[in-house]
């Protein structure tokens, strides 16, 4: 049987034609397609007050957002231990410190009570993560931030098109939201991301800092009808711009985002049916009335399962099925563990989830028979004769 990968992008003829058009146009770096993608993204979110800044990764977007908010040495930023290192490492780029907190035992999203308990005199911001595509409890988190005068930057790498309280993530009352378009995300540009904000000053700073601190976008400088060679370096910026080649993919992927979500939701329903009776804890669905993006499908071994997580992954690979673990928590990683003296016992919910969790294949090119194949392999491993 052919190998069933953990994730695959779905690229159609429209994306390919748009990329070819870009290559033929002669403008392959940040230019008209990137501007079009930004405008389309704002329209998708449906809020005219939002500004969208395309970047070459969600990591870049998080860095730019926190930099624009003035986070720096002596400051502290709270985020979850149950995330990829990019969420936290951008804080260290700026010389600030990270305060890690535990996750909710059911949703695996950041625990608002743990956030409030962790706030200290140096705390400046909170970075919640919408784990696997389910919205974090933003109502509570935003209320906490308002009470304590803190900034909020949402890591929405998993969360397009997630809703929270009926509103699309990206349109909430946070200071900024950052999406990812990496190869395995709900839409892809290969590599890429989008920083979304209502704060005009934050947006202006991010646009300058994403390209070397130059006072004018390259597209504006090189496409004007009058000589426009002059520019100024106003800050030591970064190289975080999204290319037009990548944006060409994004333009058409975005148009398919809602259809992709519906496909993922259908596959999740198939999994829920096929995995009945197995010693597994299935992932939490969305809050009532909300949309889950279903970037990941994360199951956990229940008490009494006949084998551990690592052996189960090996059994699946032996049957030609790819899977992953989301995540090895940051408190387990040498850098974060050693810098802040972290111990597993400080994060019991994340630690327990990590020891029992695995992410099953979930992508729009999957079929119901693929789901049944995964379920069959799980049954063979977990319900031995």
**Which residue bears the tokens 């800050």?**
235
Q: Minimal CA–CA distance to 365: which of 259, 276, 274?
A: 259
Alpha helices in the chain (DSSP H): 13-25, 32-45, 58-68, 86-93, 112-118, 138-148, 200-209, 218-223, 244-255, 257-274, 309-318, 334-340, 348-356, 368-382
Contact between residue 195 and residue 178 where contact means Cβ atoms under 8 Å apart: yes
Segment holding 349, helix H or strand E: helix 348-356
Cα angle for residues 239, 245, 246 (degrees, 5° grid): 65
CA distance 198 to 180: 19
CA distance 224 to 300: 56
**Which residue bears the tokens 């004007």?**
224
Q: How far is CA 128 from CA 134, 241, 250, in A?
A: 12, 24, 25
Question: Two tokens at 210?
Answer: 């994403």
Cα angle for residues 240, 10, 153 (degrees, 5° grid): 40
Half-sphere CA count of 375, side-chain side, radius 13 A = 19
Catalytic residue status for 185: yes
* Catalytic, out of 33, 99, 185, 263: 185
Question: Two tokens at 345?
Answer: 């016992």
Question: Two tokens at 364?
Answer: 């729009």
Classify burial at 272, counting beta carbons within 10 Å of its beta carbon; exposed 0-12, middle 13-18, buried 19 or more.
middle
Contact between residue 293 and residue 268 where contact means Cβ atoms under 8 Å apart: no
Catalytic residues: 185
């Amino acid at each position: 049987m052919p190998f069933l990968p953990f994730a695959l992008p779905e690229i159609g003829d429209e994306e390919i034609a748009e990329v070819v058009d870009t290559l033929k146009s002669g403008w392959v770096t940040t230019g008209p397609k990137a501007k079009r993608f930004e405008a389309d993204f704002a329209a998708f979110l449906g809020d005219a007050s939002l500004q969208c800044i395309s970047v070459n990764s969600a990591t870049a977007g998080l860095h730019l957002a926190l930099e624009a908010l003035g986070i720096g040495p002596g400051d502290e930023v709270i985020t979850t231990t149950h995330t990829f290192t990019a969420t936290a490492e951008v804080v260290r780029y700026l010389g600030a410190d990270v305060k890690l907190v535990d996750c909710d035992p059911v949703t695996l999203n950041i625990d608002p009570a743990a956030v409030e308990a962790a706030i200290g005199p140096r705390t400046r911001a909170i970075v919640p993560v919408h784990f696997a595509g389910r919205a974090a409890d933003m109502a509570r988190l935003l209320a906490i931030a308002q009470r304590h005068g803190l900034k909020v930057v949402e890591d929405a790498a998993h969360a397009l098109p997630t809703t929270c309280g009926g509103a699309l993530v990206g349109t909430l009352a946070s200071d900024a939201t950052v999406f990812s378009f990496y190869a395995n995300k709900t839409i892809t540009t290969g590599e890429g991301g989008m920083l979304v904000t209502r704060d005009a000053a934050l947006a202006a700073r991010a646009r300058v800092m994403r390209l070397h601190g130059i006072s004018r976008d390259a597209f504006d400088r090189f496409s004007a009808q009058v000589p426009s060679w002059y520019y100024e370096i106003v800050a030591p910026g970064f190289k975080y711009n999204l290319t037009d080649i990548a944006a060409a993919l994004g333009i058409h992927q975005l148009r398919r985002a809602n259809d992709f979500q519906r496909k993922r939701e259908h596959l999740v329903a198939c999994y829920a049916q096929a995995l009945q009776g197995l010693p597994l804890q299935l992932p939490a669905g969305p809050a009532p009335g909300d949309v889950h993006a279903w970037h990941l499908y994360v199951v956990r071994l229940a008490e009494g399962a006949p084998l551990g997580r690592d052996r189960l992954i090996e059994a699946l690979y032996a049957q030609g099925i790819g899977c992953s673990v989301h995540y090895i928590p940051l408190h387990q990683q040498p850098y974060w563990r050693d810098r802040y003296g972290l111990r597993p016992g400080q994060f019991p919910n994340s630690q327990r989830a990590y020891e029992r969790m695995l992410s099953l294949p979930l992508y729009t090119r999957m079929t119901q028979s693929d789901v049944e194949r995964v379920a069959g392999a799980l049954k063979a491993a977990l319900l031995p004769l």
